[in-house]
A and B are shown apart, each in its own frame.
Chain A
Amino acid sequence: MPEQREENYWVTVLVYFASFLIGLGIIAEIAFNWAHIPNHIKLIGAGVAMVINALALLWCMTGQKKILTQVVACIYGFLIMGVIGLIGQIFQLQANPENACLLWAFISWPLFIAAPRLLWLWLPMFFYGIRYLPPMFDEAIRGEIFGEWSGRADANLTIFYRWLAVVGSYALLCAYEVWQSFGSKTDNMVRYPLRFYSGVVIWGLYCRAAFYGENLASQWGFWHEIVVPALLLSGIFWVLNKKFRRFSFMPLFLLGLFAEYALILTSQYFNAAEPLWLRKSVLHIASTEQYLPFVFLLLMFAYAYYHKMPRLRIASIIALVMWFIATYSYDMFDLTPSLMLCATVGGCAYYARNRKWFNIAVIAAVLRVLGEYAYVDNLQYFGLYLIVAGVLLILTVLFLTRYSRKLWEKIDEK
């Protein structure tokens, strides 16, 4: 039974990715023929497509078609994002992609009821989307302190929205914790959105530090908006968790947030002696990209160690060494070392009879190869490439799910 569950898990992940590619391909194809379609037809077409997709999702859900439900939910999510972009372009709205991601977050959460795992697949997108929050706050601060909006009628209203956002964010975190302690554990309808938006708020606060760390200490509202509430809430949540004998990451998150901000503040006080990486911001995008695979491998090693899996432990050590060498010998994201890593992990996981890590290695290899050939200049061909890649991926999944049984039967016989 657990093996079956594991298999379903990686099949689902791949199918999500394939539907993502197909959805993106369709968007690219529509974008290519953009100018030739009248605006009202575009809007009506978008509305009709959404209604059809929602109906298809309902049909899949009532018909207990699990995989198809997740695929349709995934396509629906991308369609919603596409329609947001469409509205922005037709009406020439002066909005940015971060705006679009935030609107998407606020209207598409019901999809998580249909396919809860979508939450984890789409988090990177939200990570990008909530980058909009820090500049929004900063802009409001500038207007408030330096009087840039003194002549504007909407200044007070914007300040009011800002405070509403700050208070609302912390209220959401409290609501999530209170629900975790007192609410029904089976009512996902409330639990999922609460968990999701609490995550968005936490990431938003972290991003503020990550992308705008440089000037934080000098900003008005630094202490009473971030530092004091983070400390206070982590204490309250810790007491709440202890009382109900429950473990939550929330107090740790908030304490981590406090530590991150304290680090920035301290670094600014010791300006002369601070290292360069600390001076600009705590997290750099480039270093995040570099260290993520490394952290991932370390986690893998910890997993193997914790579950007493000696072969996988060795595999992870080999992978770590190869990663280390690869950073010196090749470009970090070159195809060869990446595939070698995948092959090593996959091979060792196979002989350790660990299906989950074997599947992860296969997925990583497939994604890496697809990524390598994704750069096509012409939008029409790029759209076609994405659709074909998505279809091929689904066919590969179908093939592998049948073939892998024989593969595992062979190793089980030994």
Chain B
Amino acid sequence: MKSKLLVPLLFLPVIVLSAIMLYYTAMCRLQKVEVVVEGYDPKNFFSGYYMNLQPNWLKTDCSQFADNVCPKEDFADHYNFYINVDHSAKLTEAVNSGVVKLVFSYDKGYRPLIVDLLVDGISYFDFIKAE
């Protein structure tokens, strides 16, 4: 009995984490909305470097949401965006000078999930490569 239970129990982390991965992969396929963000604060060595970004609702195009209203209450006051430490200097400069947007996968009733960071309209990864 014990050995029969052991196999599924040892695979419990694999099952749970795979389910979480699939869930978030599915969540990334919701409608994409772009929110203008500003501010930068490199911190927290524990998980590499994060950009601390605040949504700027005044500059955000609210027509992309239902009823042309920005659902501010569904979004957080600030977001941490993970970046590689090597790119922090370039992105700091970009955030301070250009128009930066966070792309969320979002639908009413779901928590917005960050899928990309746009610097002057292009993905931050392509922006770094181009630089």
Contact = CB atoms under 8 A, between A and B. Distances in A.
Interface of A: 31, 34-35, 43, 46-47, 50-51, 54, 57-58, 61, 76, 80, 83-85, 87-94, 97, 107-108, 110-111, 113-114, 151-152, 189
Contacts of A113: 6, 9
Band of interface residues on B: 20 to 34
A85 B47 contact: yes
A110 B81 contact: no
B47 A89 contact: yes
B62 interface: no
B65 interface: no
Nearest to A31: B48
Nearest to B18: A47
Nearest to B86: A35
Interface in B1-43: 2, 5-7, 9-14, 16-18, 20-21, 24-25, 27-28
Contacts of A61: 6
Contact of A58 (B10, B14, B81): B10
A80 B17 contact: yes
A110 B6 CA distance: 8
Interface string B58-83: 00000000000000010010011110
Most chain A C-beta atoms within 10 Å of own C-beta, residue among B7, B12, B14: B14
19 contacts: A43-B21, A47-B17, A50-B13, A58-B7, A58-B10, A61-B6, A87-B21, A91-B24, A91-B28, A91-B113, A92-B80, A93-B24, A94-B76, A97-B47, A107-B13, A107-B17, A111-B10, A151-B73, A189-B5
Given A47-B21, A189-B2, A80 B13 contact: yes
Contact of B80 (A84, A91, A94): A94
B87 interface: yes
Most chain B C-beta atoms within 10 Å of own C-beta, residue among A43, A51, A54, A94: A94
B73 A92 contact: no
Contacts of B76: 94
B76 to A, nearest CB: 6
A92 B16 contact: no
Nearest to B3: A62
Contacts of B86: 35
B46 A97 contact: yes
B9 A110 contact: yes
Contacts of A114: 10
Given A34-B84, A152-B73, A189-B2, A83 B7 contact: no
A47 B24 contact: no
B114 interface: yes
Contact of B114 (A47, A84, A92): A92
B68 to A, nearest CB: 20
A92 B14 contact: no
Contacts of A34: 48, 84
A84 B80 CA distance: 17
Contacts of B87: 35
Contacts of B82: 89, 92
Nearest to B7: A58
B13 A94 contact: no
Nearest to A35: B84
Contacts of A54: 10-11, 13-14
Contacts of B20: 87
Contacts of B10: 54, 57-58, 110-111, 114
A270 B28 CA distance: 54
A50 B10 CA distance: 10
Given A87-B21, A111-B10, 4 more contacts: A31-B48, A80-B13, A89-B47, A107-B17
A97 B114 CA distance: 19
Most chain A C-beta atoms within 10 Å of own C-beta, residue among B10, B18, B46: B10
Most chain B C-beta atoms within 10 Å of own C-beta, residue among A46, A85, A110: A110
B14 A47 contact: yes
A253 B24 CA distance: 40
Contact of A84 (B17, B81, B84): B17
Contacts of A90: 24
Contacts of B7: 58
Interface string B75-106: 01001111010110000000000000000000
A107 B17 CA distance: 9
